[in-house]
Copies of this chain bind each other. A is one copy, B any other.
Amino acid sequence: MSEPHVLVLGGGFAGLWCTRALASAPVRITVVDRTNHHLFQPLLYQVATAGLSAPDIAAPLRHILRRQRNVTVRMDEVQRIDTGARRVQCAGGELAYDFLVVATGATHAYFGNDAWATHAPGLKTLDDALAIRRRLLSAFEAAEREPDPAARAAWLNFVVIGGGPTGVELAGTLAEIARHTLPREFRHADPRSARVHLVEAGPRPLATMPQELSEKTRAMLQRLGVEVHTGRPVTAIDADGVAIGDERLPARTVLWAAGVAASPLGAQLGVATDRAGRVPVEADLSLPGRPEVFVAGDLAAVRDAGRDRAVPGVAPAAKQMGAHVAAVIRARLRGTPSAAFRYRDFGNLATIGRMAAVVDFGRLRLSGLLAWWFWLVAHLFFLIGFRNRLIVLLNWGWSYWTYQRHARIISGRPPPD
């Protein structure tokens, strides 16, 4: 085969959208991902909180791409990128490329406090979500077994660290589970006595939203039963709880939603990364000095020229970058000049809990029930696959009417600690 080989690392939004946009291009494409699935990350917190099953929000990459004949999907782990030799070393073999698209995303980061990882797991992969589900559900089970009231209370205290969208979603849902889903099912512990803390180092939750919506978010969280702590960073995390400033929050269950760092593969591309490990790219998303290498999605540090800020690490931005890289590759093959990437910001939405969300469309700002409906419809629309949409819709409807969460199954081995 003499067609140029496009090697796409990562089957997330950026990698998948790039691959799809090359469907009719005269290239052969290999998509490498260490999992076998594309994950709809915006709903990952619902797997962590037992509202959805893992397969509801994930689909095998090779199934999604089965009809695109110029694509090979390879489940493999990337070990080393050699941009000089144009080769990528994977655990299962070496791959040469003509064009490389690095779209390996981000992972959660503890900012130098790696010891916190044991006590405060983060949420980026399906396995993370299933581990968090196991911890949350097991905490209520441990409380039910525990005869000592103080020890029982510690099992019913939950701390979510980080007031971004994931932290807000986790805290809001957890409060709903404790207040509405579980109460009648326990005989010794009372889930309604559970305390859910949300800790944000900055002054307000959802800091990327307008001030007005942040304050509405805080009010909605409090109405759901979440205790919101802002303005003080976490200074310690151990098996018994969290310290914020001088205050100590005792809790056996702590979740980390406070920060992400870009994939470590970014450091192998030969340019200095920013503080979050992201790779600064040219206006067309190519690597400085390496026009055949592109970086897209959460791994790319891109300026949003229109609004003088960084392009945010959200799904729509990743999809747009992926599609843009595909357009640049097609332009190169035709010998025409490539355009600069421009981020089209369609708005910003975040959900908080039952009938509570915020939506920012610039001039139009919504909160509460209407925003929640908008959030539901948008997420259903962007899910991949008719079947997933139908199943998620059914699960949401069922959860709404019954207050139940169907995936309340404790599975998997507990961590080795």
Measuring CB to CB, which residues of chain A are less than 8 angstroms from any residue of chain B? Answer: 35-37, 53-56, 58, 60, 62-63, 66-67, 71-76, 92-93, 126-127, 130, 137-138, 141-142, 144-147, 184-188, 387, 390-391, 394, 398, 404, 406-413
Contacts and interface: CB of A to CB of B under 8 A. Distances in A.
A410 B145 contact: no
B184 A36 contact: no
A184 B72 CA distance: 11
Contacts of A63: 185, 404, 408
B66 A137 contact: no
A412 B62 CA distance: 19
Given A60-B409, A394-B390, A66 B127 contact: no
Q: Which of A72, A409, A412 has the most CB of B within 10 A?
A: A409
B36 A75 contact: no
> Which of A37, A56, A58, A60 has the most chain B CB atoms inside 10 A of its CB?
A60
A142 B67 CA distance: 21
A407 B411 CA distance: 16
A144 B55 contact: no
A413 B127 contact: yes
Contacts of A398: 387
Given A130-B412, A145-B76, A407 B93 contact: no
Given A35-B410, A37-B409, A55-B409, A74 B144 contact: yes
Nearest to A147: B93
Give the number of copies in the complex: 2
A127 B412 contact: yes
Contacts of A137: 36
A313 B413 CA distance: 27
Contact of A387 (B74, B186, B406): B406
Contacts of A407: 53-55
Contacts of A187: 71-73
Determine the main DSSP class of A at the interface with B. Answer: mixed
Contacts of A54: 53, 407, 409, 411
A185 B93 contact: no
A411 B127 contact: yes
Contacts of A188: 72
A394 B392 CA distance: 12
Contacts of A138: 36, 75
Contacts of A72: 187-188
12 contacts: A53-B55, A53-B56, A53-B407, A55-B409, A62-B185, A62-B186, A66-B185, A73-B187, A74-B145, A76-B145, A127-B412, A387-B404
A370 B27 CA distance: 49
Contacts of A186: 62
A186 B73 CA distance: 8
Nearest to A141: B75
Given A53-B55, A76-B145, 5 more contacts: A60-B185, A72-B188, A126-B409, A387-B398, A394-B394
Contacts of A406: 55, 387, 391
Contacts of A75: 138, 141, 144-145, 410
A387 B401 CA distance: 12
Nearest to A188: B72
Nearest to A60: B408
Contacts of A413: 127, 413
A407 B60 CA distance: 9
Nearest to A76: B145
Contacts of A35: 410-411
A390 B390 CA distance: 12
B410 A37 contact: yes
Contacts of A409: 36-37, 54-55, 58, 60, 126
